[in-house]
Structure 1
């Protein structure tokens, strides 16, 4: 049927006149992962016109005059999606050095990280927290073609309470430093939500509990009240945005889900009640697990302050136990990494952790394709190799459905029909 559809399309172009026939690119590979079924398509062909896929399948007829990219024995997959990044940050920023960083310097760091992330095979990311709207500026620069990088849905400054995880807790009080997203009470929370949207936020990020890389708070305790959360999330939804909640602790997870949150980020202390609520409300969990390995191993090198390291040693191992239970219970999972806590470009190391916690490789791949696309509200644009979607493709050696670690070595990347890595 797909071959017939391509023939009909070419006949229509011919009837319109040769001058109107768009340039066609055909990408060939020995295999292609159908992420919906979790099965391989052999002798794969993907036909592309401009930025979009026009057809995909096995042994499709390649139109005369098409530009052919033959990837030989490689395996094609849709471009990967990371739903939890901090694209303008670096691991070293978990220490005190971030205090001396200007907004222009942070933005340029983001440009470097964006290219690294794209070349690692992540063609779409959701950025959930950046200083001074730097992620929004970077998104716009990428969209305008000024710098290379993935497609970005950006949050701008995350909302948090005074002294909470998303406040700037590393400054002494005499510096009178308050993070841009700090908002206490319903009225302030509404104002900051509207301000973020005014300056271009695609998604609203909320710090619903304490965190690991912040001073003086406890990841197990909630930080916003139910009324405040309802105000923020309700306003985000009313204005056409989704909302994501940083939430480690059970009470913060429960409150955020009851308030209508679209995703829980981290979920380290998720309990039976949280699992039950998230399944009932079909709320996505975005675990960020590989960072537990990298951060503890590299804490000395990045000069991670001792109080933060001590929290990490307690919280991060516990997170794997609890999130393993959530995965087995069937909580919806979307892929996220918290890249910036560890170096950008290592995002795909998260897959092996998901498999270790009970997922099959196919299930793990779905978290970074169809599941993440659904969470972002972009199922019509990205997340699978299908007609009408962006021609965002990657290719790897090996068999990712057998060993998901093959995704850690992406050999070829295409974004919007343009090759950005490989020949």
Structure 2
């Protein structure tokens, strides 16, 4: 089970690249309209010229004609950049929650991730940050996708989430007499530094750790801080020294503030942040990534899916408060990036969150920016993704109509282009 990442690599060495591999020839993409996510304006008759999977020119079809190129004409649709989700778990399935998830071996979840990756890109999310996966499965998925063996988004992998003994990122489901390996657990400043180095060595491109308890962990208070300030400081310092960004899972007020003081790049969930936390985040430039849709799904479907009552009770404690915090943080001017926690609810439904973001204070273009240009900035990859602009990957989605007027159009993506290749056409 632990060798699954190596097995995936060996398997992929015999698989040839698929049509999703970026074209080396020039590709021209046209449509009726384009949403410029920076200005918020609709551009008529866009023409996007790409080379080797990246955009070289953005113009309009009446100003510039490119010959000798393969064309992708998206007809009477509106194009915009491929969407970015800052918080997913591709190897999780919400319909297999609680103790029933323990019936499946690690290899099952890796295979399952291939289907979830396909759902994700077909939903229009061409880049995701996978913030926690056992058996280094997100690395295997990333390699398979990049080789062209399977369809899926660009993945920024965290591998294992780092957590304290007995905390949210630990495995507390089984009785005390069961002894098993827990590769993400680290305690003390030296321990967390070593763990960051180990995950970096294995291929992590972002470090995710659990600063507080959570909804789905057994025996933890959802808001209780689980790492000391000294441990968080050491973890973030080590990650930044290695050039890695850091995401902190944090629901509770004290844990949120400690994470911000430690210098994390993003705080996830952020349910009980207060005005002081907002000011700390604004001063530090910390991003909030808040999963404000999934409460609806968890409370409606969780019991049927096997979520224990103790976790449902914590979700009832968190859900409304988190949405109120989202609204207050946005009004206070905190930087916000789109993060859905897909895997806690079904993959492919990521875009359901846009309507909640609008309901709780954002305009449609603000919500779209949170999943494009702003998320790219939070990732530190604004030169690659988040805009339809020269130099970026030719990752483009198309919808029918104007999503700045009806953000729910993003739930029905008609076409997806990744790296200059058409990977979905549902017109």
1:322-337 → structure 2 map (5 Å cutoff) = 322-337=325-340
SS of residue in 2 equivalent to 1:318? helix
User: How many pairs align?
Assistant: 402
Question: Which consecutive unaligned segments of at least 5 residues does structure 1 have?
Answer: 1-21
What's the TM-score once normalised by structure 2's chain length? 0.92
The answer to whether 1:303 aligns with 2:294 is: no
2:282 equivalent among 256, 279, 283: 279
2:403 equivalent among 389, 392, 400: 400
The answer to whether 1:29 aligns with 2:1 is: no
Displacement of 1:129 in angstroms is: 0.5
Q: Is the 8 A contact 2:122 2:424 kept in 1?
A: yes
Distance in 2, matches of 1:287 and 1:93, equals 23
Displacement of 1:178 in angstroms is: 5.1
Match of 1:128 in 2: 131
1:156/1:231 CA distance change after superposition, 3 Å: same
SS of residue in 2 equivalent to 1:174? coil
Displacement of 1:43 in angstroms is: 1.3
Q: Is the 8 A contact 1:263 1:286 kept in 2?
A: yes
Q: Is the 8 A contact 1:208 1:245 kept in 2?
A: yes
1:13-412 → structure 2 map (5 Å cutoff) = 23-59=25-61, 60-177=63-180, 179-412=182-415
What's the TM-score once normalised by structure 1's chain length? 0.93
Question: Which consecutive unaligned segments of at least 5 residues does structure 2 have?
Answer: 1-23
SS of residue in 1 equivalent to 2:331? helix
Distance in 1, matches of 2:97 and 2:256, equals 24
Q: Is the 8 A contact 1:171 1:177 kept in 2?
A: no
User: Could you report, residue by residue, the CA deviation over 1:281-332 in whole angstroms, capped at 9, with x for unpaired residues?
Assistant: 1100000011011111111321211111111111111111111100111100
Q: Is the 8 A contact 1:226 1:259 kept in 2?
A: yes
SS of residue in 1 equivalent to 2:337? coil
SS of residue in 1 equivalent to 2:311? helix
Displacement of 1:397 in angstroms is: 0.6
Which structure 1 residue ranges, 4+ long, deviate > 3 Å from structure 2? none
SS of residue in 1 equivalent to 2:247? strand
Displacement of 1:44 in angstroms is: 1.2
User: Could you report, residue by residue, the CA deviation over 1:174-196 in whole angstroms, capped at 9, with x for unpaired residues?
Assistant: 11245321111112111111111
Distance in 2, matches of 1:64 and 1:160, equals 55
Distance in 2, matches of 1:97 and 1:415, equals 36
SS of residue in 2 equivalent to 1:57? strand
Identify the range of structure 1 (93-102 vs 40-49) with the bigger mean alpha-carbon deviation.
93-102
Distance in 2, matches of 1:93 and 1:83, equals 23
Q: Is the 8 A contact 1:166 1:179 kept in 2?
A: no
User: Could you report, residue by residue, the CA deviation over 1:48-69 in whole angstroms, capped at 9, with x for unpaired residues?
Assistant: 1220111113334221222222
Displacement of 1:362 in angstroms is: 0.6
Match of 2:10 in 1: none
Distance in 2, matches of 1:195 and 1:314, equals 35
User: Could you report, residue by residue, the CA deviation over 1:185-240 in whole angstroms, capped at 9, with x for unpaired residues?
Assistant: 11211111111111100000010000011111112221100110011111111111
User: Could you report, residue by residue, the CA deviation over 1:245-265 in whole angstroms, capped at 9, with x for unpaired residues?
Assistant: 000111001000101100000
SS of residue in 2 equivalent to 1:68? strand
Displacement of 1:143 in angstroms is: 1.4
SS of residue in 1 equivalent to 2:335? coil
Q: Is the 8 A contact 1:413 1:422 kept in 2?
A: yes
SS of residue in 2 equivalent to 1:228? helix
User: Could you report, residue by residue, the CA deviation over 1:116-145 in whole angstroms, capped at 9, with x for unpaired residues?
Assistant: 101100000000001121111211221122
Q: Is the 8 A contact 2:100 2:306 kept in 1?
A: no
Displacement of 1:381 in angstroms is: 0.4
